[in-house]
Each structure stands twice: as C-alpha cells, then as structure tokens.
Structure 1
Amino acid sequence: MKVVFLTLLLGLVCGAPETATEIDPSKVTGEWHTIYAAADNKEKIVKGGLLRCYYHQIECINDCKYPSLTFYAKDDGRCQLFTEVRKRQEGDVYVIEFMGTNVLQLIYVSDNMVVTYFENDDGEKITKITEGVGRGDSFTQEELQKYPELNSKRGIPNENIENVIKTGKAPEDSRYLK
C-alpha cells in the first residue's frame, strides 16, 4: 500500500510539464502539507481511502531529477512515515505499477502551492486525482481559485474536493485536525 501513496507524492516534484531543467528546486524543496485532494472517484481520497496521504517534506536532488519525498500514509491500518527517493522518467512523468498503473504529472507550482495530477488505472476503472499541497495550512485567495480550475480542466468535479486539513491528522503534525 505504501507504493500507492508514494505514487501520489512522486508527481509532486518531478512530473512537471516543463522540462527538467526548468524546475526550480527552491520552489519545491522544504516542508509541504496536504491541504486539498480531489478525485473523480472520491472514495479513494477520503479519510481512510486507499490513495489518501499526508505530504511532509520534499528535497530536490540533482535539480529534482531524484526527489526525496517524506510523507505519512496508512500501511496495514497504521499511519506510518515514509521517505522515498525516485527518478523522473522520460516525458517528465512517473509510471508505477501497483494496484494498477499510475501515471503522474506536476500541473502547478508556485512559492506556496504545488498541485499534482495522476491517473490510477486499477484494471477496472481509471481514477483521476489531484493533490493540492502548501507550505502553510491554507491557500491564498488566488490559489483557492486556481485549484478548482485545475480540477475542472481534468474532469474532476469540484464537489469532490476534500479539505484534508479539516478531515485528517498525521502523527506529529498539528496542522491536521481530528
């Protein structure tokens, strides 16, 4: 199960639509916290869902060709801290085989917000998912408008946006309320 959650995170740094040389490591390196998640199959991202995770930290290695990602995810029913280092693939995407095929891409980066998009094909259905992560515990008004726009462009209903800060709690992180 940890690989599924890693899948969410891998798109965060290196699945960028820009070329690898265009990724500014200073914009993605540091503490990050999941603020919003959305999916066309909301069951996968709600509290207890198979693809629910809590971002913690990102470190860019070699201009983000190899990101180090630290995150909380449930594995065997327990919330655990994971750190993984992965390599960006050709086309600035990640493809991971676990519980189906997962194709990830970074779709938005600012100083305070990163949004990832990925599609999980479990063999029966393709689920489209975005994760909006921030350096703080909220987004600016502009970012609050940007996130739903990004979902709409990908066919994810905005009524499926989950406020992760209000509905989840990662160990040792008071940003996530009970």
Structure 2
Amino acid sequence: MVKFLLLALALGVSCAHHNNPEITPSEVDGNWRTLYIGADNVEKVLKGGPLRAYFQHMECSDECQTLTITFKVKVEGECQTHTVVGRKEKDGLYMTDYSGKNYFRVIEKADGIIIFHNVNVDNSGKETNVILVAGKEESLSKAQKQELKKLANKLNIPNENIQHLEPADTCHQ
C-alpha cells in the first residue's frame, strides 16, 4: 500500500508540471513509431531492454477511455509483437500490464507527435520513469528536441539517457 501511495504521489507531482492534454481518436488512431525513449533506469530502455518499445499502431475507443497500443520489443535479437490495452482511470492515468504494472499519460501533443510519461513498476517493485515520443514521421524538429529535453528534466530523466530509435532498426519495419 505504501508503494502505491508513493507512486500516486510521484505521478501527481510529475503531472503538476504538465497540462495533460486530452487525446481524440482522430489524433491517435493509426500507425505510429517510437522516435525517442528515455528512462531514469536507462538499462530498461537500452537495446534489448524490456521497456524499449517500438510502437507500431495506436487506437483509442470509448472517447479514448481505452487506448490500445501495438508495439515490438527486441528480446535476444528477436522482435516480439505485443498489444496492450490501457484503461483510463479517474485520475486520468492509463493503466496496463506489461513487464509489470504501467501507469501512463499523454504529457504533450502536437501534429503527428505524442509524448507519453510512463511509470513502470516491475515484478520486483522497482519503479522506472519513462518518457516516450511517438510520431507519425521519422524525426523531431530542433524545437521539439529541446522541448523533449525540458520534459525529461522535469521527470528527473537525464538527457544522456534519452535514446533515438533509428528508423532502420529491424523492429521498426
């Protein structure tokens, strides 16, 4: 119970920094790719890490109360496809199970770009803050990269922990 309360407090503090924009099906539904990913526990998002998610497709239903994300993760050199369904809770967080419990929300959106903040609590109870940039295109503008760095700093994710996922990576194809 204490871990849950600490998690709720951490998410509440991190969310106070952001306006937590609402998303609509027209903004979300379709093919996406992960452009950047970073975490305070960087080993979780390095190549082969369990949270290095290569987004493929997103779709929301019930006025985006449910968000379905299909992504790939490379395990021992092989790409594995996963689909998770996040259900929006009363506090605005989506909750789903993958490599533990995940509590995520949209913290920024622009044309063809959505930035997520996720807190993963793995099966051993270790919490990892993750920032993930999903895009319809293959890159960010210089201004968008600066905004990503600012958001990561607010989430206590060091800039050196932010990984660019190359479009040519086999899991993106």
- TM above 0.5, one fold? yes
1:87 aligns to what? 87
Does residue 43 (structure 1) correspond to residue 46 (structure 2)? The answer is no
Q: Secondary structure at the match of 1:52?
A: coil
Q: What is the deviation of 1:97?
A: 5.4
8 Å contact from structure 1 (residues 47, 168) kept in 2: no
Q: Distance in 2 between matches of 1:88 and 1:137?
A: 28
Residues 5-84 of structure 1: pairs in structure 2 closer than 5 A:
17-18=20-21, 22-74=22-74, 78-84=78-84
Q: What runs of 5+ residues in structure 2 fail to find an aligned partner?
A: 1-18
Q: What runs of 5+ residues in structure 1 fail to find an aligned partner?
A: 1-15, 174-178
Q: State the TM-score, normalized to the length of structure 2.
A: 0.77
- Return closer, same or farther for 1:75/1:161 CA change in 2, 3 Å cut-off: closer
Aligned length: 154
1:8 aligns to what? none
1:150 aligns to what? 151
1:138 aligns to what? 139
Task: Please give the per-residue CA displacement for 1:49-100, whole angstroms capped at 9, x wherever unaligned.
Answer: 1111100111222221222322112468631223344422221113345654
Q: What is the deviation of 1:106?
A: 1.4
Q: Distance in 2 between matches of 1:108 and 1:89?
A: 19
8 Å contact from structure 1 (residues 32, 58) kept in 2: yes
> Kindly, what percent of the aligned residue pairs are identical?
33
8 Å contact from structure 2 (residues 84, 98) kept in 1: no
Tell me whether 109-118 or 148-157 shows the greater mean CA deviation: 109-118
Runs of 4+ residues deviating >6 angstroms? none
- Return closer, same or farther for 1:112/1:102 CA change in 2, 3 Å cut-off: same
Q: Distance in 1 between matches of 2:115 and 2:144?
A: 10
- Return closer, same or farther for 1:75/1:160 CA change in 2, 3 Å cut-off: closer
2:116 aligns to what? 116
